[in-house]
Amino acid sequence: MKNILRPALILFLVLTLLTGVAYPLVVTGVAQSLFPVQAAGSLILRDGKPVGSELIGQNFSDPKHFWGRPSATGLMPYNAAASSGSNQGPLNPALVDAVKGRVEALRAADPGNTAAVPVDLVTASASGLDPHISPAAARYQAARVARARNVPVDKVQSLVEQQTETPLLGFFGEPRIHVLKVNLALDALK
């Protein structure tokens, strides 16, 4: 029995050290040296302190800020531990009701705005964590944000244009605006 148990225990310890200690340390070291920003969480800093991530949206409800896409992560919006889509198809009455409610809330927040509501302001992304909105969604909100901040709307629209990220290599993806970054830029306006 000792002839079988001893090699099995030694193999168990060697594999534990290799796969449980050495491999994670090597992978972490390589990630931190080659991709330091991503390995640290892709954090966005303000005055040297983290205020969010480039990869995870945040819940903004103040009229002075741009609002992001709805989050599908349940009771706590943009909870990365609960990342998931709503799993509601386009014919699902619950999705239709949710979209109607979101459109009504946007209309109530800006009653004078009669423009069509961009779809990304009333539907969640696949992960429920998307930190971006379309330029159309930002333009839709620009007048409300300008009024709430008592600044000219063209100044807010100019900021939206400055914050618009172009598609990768000019054609992969769509133009988009990172909601936290544009809101931080708004807070820095004088």
Domain ranges for the chain: 2-36, 41-188
Is pLDDT of 23 > 80?
yes
> 74 vs 178, which has greater pLDDT?
178
Give residue 164's pLDDT. 95
- What's the pLDDT tens digit per position in 68-106? 999 887 778 888 787 777 677 788 888 889 889 999 999
Give residue 190's pLDDT. 65
List all residues 6 or more positions away from 68 whose beta carbon is below 8 Å from its beta carbon: 57, 58, 59, 60, 130, 131, 132, 133, 179
- Per-chain mean pLDDT for the chain: 90
Give the residue among 59, 23, 58 at the shortest CA–CA distance from 44: 58
Is pLDDT of 152 > 80?
yes
Pairing of β 49-53 and β 43-46: antiparallel
Check if the beta carbon of residue 178 is closer than 8 Å to that of residue 54: yes
Report the share of the chain in percent with pLDDT over 70. Answer: 98
DSSP-derived letter for residue 135 is H
List all residues 6 or more positions away from 86 whose beta carbon is below 8 Å from its beta carbon: 72, 95, 98, 124, 128
Give residue 37's pLDDT. 87
- Indicate the burial class of 136 (C-beta count within 10 angstroms; 0-12, 13-18, 19 or more): middle
Structure-block tokens of residue 87: 């799993």
Average pLDDT over residues 17-34: 95
Q: How many CA atoms lie within 13 A of 134 on its CB side?
A: 14
pTM of the complete model? 0.81
